[in-house]
Structure 1
Amino acid sequence: METALIIGASGGIGSALVHTLEKREVKVTSLSRSADGLDVTDEASVKAHLDALSGPFDLIFVATGALELNGRGPEKALKEIEPEVMLEQFRLNCMGPALVLKYSARLLPRDRAATFAALSARVGSIGDNSLGGWYSYRTAKAALNQMIRGASIELKRTHKKSICVALHPGTVSTPLTAKYAGGRETHTPDEAAKDLLSVLEGLGPQDTGSFFDWSGKPVPW
Structure 2
Amino acid sequence: MFNKYKMNLQAKSPNIFADSCSLDEAYALFYQKNGFGPIVGDREPLTVGVYTGCLIVPMPNIGVRHKYLKYHDMHHILTGYTVGRIGEGEISAWELGTGSMFRHPILGIMNLIALSTGFFLTPKRMIQAYRRGLISANTYDLATRQWIDLHGESSISELKKMKLEYKPSVFLPWLRWLEFTIYIGFALLIHSIVVIPALILRIVSYLLAGEPFIEIIKPAKRSDLY
- Report the TM-score, using the length of structure 1 for normalisation: 0.32
Q: Which protein is bigger by CA-based radius of gyration?
A: 2
- Report the TM-score, using the length of structure 2 for normalisation: 0.32
Structure of higher RCO (CA pairs closer than 8 Å, 6+ residues apart): 2
